[in-house]
Chains A and B, each alone.
Chain A
């Protein structure tokens, strides 16, 4: 029996998507089918094109070939409904220098029309362990605290799909674990999660599928094989 979700059930889908920069292909063509309440990890060695795939899937880079669909429509990040539904934390480490950590989150929450934005922001500051740094400007935050702030912004607003590029980066072990468990819970509650990662434990906790990217082919791994593939990659 074919256990693949029907097209109507898919939130994000693409077939034989070719990604790259300025005409230079980054990795083998990618096929992704991600329904709600599912998490897919992109794994592969450094430089294979994981970030490029993520940027292309959310419309920040044009594909070299192929098309990405979100909720049955071609992805177009210029459309408000797409931005309303998709939360993303990619490789940005950019902040308004005159806004505090709390104000950054309030901007995101109010921008999305979050009901009781103040409480939502306070909850996320506490969840990411930066409530005591709420009034600090970005220049006064450590690299790890800025990473937590960027991740908190993805949780302070509603979303149907969350796209994260190496979310475990610059986080300590406890926060990694907490984030992984939180993502797994959100996934079980209906959130679709797409992320790139090098962390075997993180992938095992969050993802129910992993896509191994390579120059020759990109193949879907059985759920239990991702940690072994990652271990092999990092010796």
Chain B
């Protein structure tokens, strides 16, 4: 058979390649124009309702804060906490972008588009635009209600400039990360931004409990923070546009191998989002454990259960992301309890404690999630299912004792019963240890069984009961402490005893159930 001949002038350019693919797929699309308009309308209505609810909730928090007298101790100015939260959010976004590309090619695009002679920059331009646009719109939608509530009375100028800045900052961030990607520096930002996020959280928490910091920071926050006006927003927009243009000009330098790797990570992450499996999402976004310079000889390990515990502790110590998460998890309750305004709301402290400890439980469940993904690991040693669960709970319990104890101690700074707060927090450890294991070993969602229709599409029956596994034991096991926080009572030895007994009972029940389920 004769080889085909080609006319270079007839080659498709990048946009034409995308258009041909889109048109071919559209020929057999089952969705009508009316259905698409309906989908778009229902999405708009859902977003509007969501934003309204979010704004209303923020407003009620603000009213609740305004309606209460200031706390007795010194507190961290809310602007400092907001800045720290902003830094953590931007660092998280940067890390996500760095992990997923931000410019990538799906496995199909890598196989069928990238080998074509079409100019690569033009082929990838809409991908960069899609990532920047999605990030900008999402951030703008989140910024709008925050700005509306922040400015009292609501000011159009404040909302508009915040939304403009909130759109420009992430767009510029996408451009900056893409620019680095085009220079061959994909993956170098994530460790830096991760360290920045952890540093910002820890610094803010440290300032929140430093006795000398409160007054100084209050003075700085009154005079030292520049107002965010139209000029700042305009500068941000221009800077973001400049960075995006620079990134666009470098798209032709991206190698197929890099695009393919980023596309595979993105596809895995997207699949885990759509399958509602947060464990898979964590695996898609996580980095590999750090390679140690020298191996440990594990001379203290004498029995099989000690091998499990030692392996878990080693894995945690070599997982920088989980270590960083533990630092942030310790900081969250402190910031919730000691930020000016929030310190007047006991509910904020309770939520801060639950959110922080949940984050810590997720971090210490890392080795168990590994074992869940590779069941052979748990079968390597001569241990029954119950013994494996017991052995795997040692490392989480040790680490959570440190996290809960420290955060409880810092939350209690200024209280006459400082150590009692720490003891009360440590008494919650059994529940969060069980939560870590229950969450890590929770069963997969069964998409082959009965399904439910929901506004988000079809979902498997029992999804709620499956997804809350882990959180349920942690939250329920912390109820005595939550009651103490909400009622403003001072913790006593009796309360500590009640908390420990309650958390231990729940933990034993949950871990026994887990061991039985894994044995069958």
Contacts and interface: CB of A to CB of B under 8 A. Distances in A.
Does A pair with B? yes
B12 A96 contact: no
Nearest to B252: A78
A7 interface: no
B25 A98 contact: yes
A127 B1 contact: yes
Given A59-B256, A78-B254, A107-B112, A98 B4 contact: no
Contacts of B10: 110, 113-115
Interface stretch (A80-88, A168-176, A205-213): A80-88
B287 to A, nearest CB: 13
Contacts, number: 117
Given A78-B254, A99-B21, A107-B24, A112 B111 contact: no
Contacts of B72: none
A133 interface: no
B118 interface: yes
B4 A120 contact: yes
Given A78-B253, A94-B111, A111 B117 contact: yes
Interface in A66-114: 77-78, 80-81, 83-84, 87-88, 92, 94-100, 103-104, 106-114
Contact of B115 (A83, A97, A156): A83
B12 A99 contact: no
Interface in A105-163: 106-115, 120, 123, 127, 150, 153, 155-159
A17 interface: no
B56 interface: no
B444 to A, nearest CB: 22
Contact of B116 (A83, A97, A159, A186): A83
Contacts of B490: none
B484 to A, nearest CB: 51
A61 B257 contact: yes
B5 A111 contact: no
A191 B2 CA distance: 12
Contacts of A103: 24
Contact of B4 (A106, A115, A189): A115
B120 interface: yes
A158 B7 CA distance: 10
A127 B241 CA distance: 50
A80 B120 CA distance: 8
Interface string B9-29: 111100001001100110011
Nearest to A98: B25
B118 A111 contact: yes
User: Which of B25, B116, B253, B255 has the most C-beta atoms of chain A within 10 angstroms of its own C-beta?
Assistant: B116
Given A60-B257, A110-B20, A94 B3 contact: no
A73 to B, nearest CB: 16
B223 interface: no
Contacts of A219: none
Contacts of B17: 107, 111
A106 B6 CA distance: 13
Contact of A78 (B1, B8, B120): B120
Contact of B108 (A59, A83, A94): A94
Contacts of A99: 21, 24-25
Interface residues of A, number: 47
B133 interface: no
Contacts of A115: 4-7, 10
Nearest to A77: B256
A112 B11 contact: yes
Contact of A94 (B7, B12, B110, B255): B110
Contacts of A59: 255-257
B4 to A, nearest CB: 4
A113 B21 contact: no
A181 to B, nearest CB: 11
Given A111-B117, A127-B1, A157 B6 contact: yes
Given A78-B253, A78-B254, A114 B21 contact: no
B55 interface: no
Contact of A182 (B1, B12, B110): B1
B195 to A, nearest CB: 22
Contact of B112 (A61, A80, A100, A104): A104
A109 B4 CA distance: 9
B437 to A, nearest CB: 33
A120 B11 CA distance: 15
Nearest to B119: A80
A110 B118 CA distance: 11
B138 to A, nearest CB: 26
A189 B120 CA distance: 31
8 contacts: A59-B255, A80-B119, A96-B108, A108-B112, A109-B4, A112-B6, A115-B4, A150-B111
Given A55-B257, A95-B112, A107-B21, 20 more contacts: A59-B256, A60-B255, A60-B256, A60-B257, A78-B120, A80-B118, A83-B116, A94-B107, A94-B111, A96-B25, A98-B28, A107-B20, A110-B10, A111-B12, A111-B113, A113-B11, A114-B10, A115-B5, A153-B112, A191-B3
Q: Which 8 A-B pairs have the closest CB atoms?
A: A94-B107, A98-B25, A111-B116, A113-B10, A113-B11, A92-B111, A80-B117, A120-B4
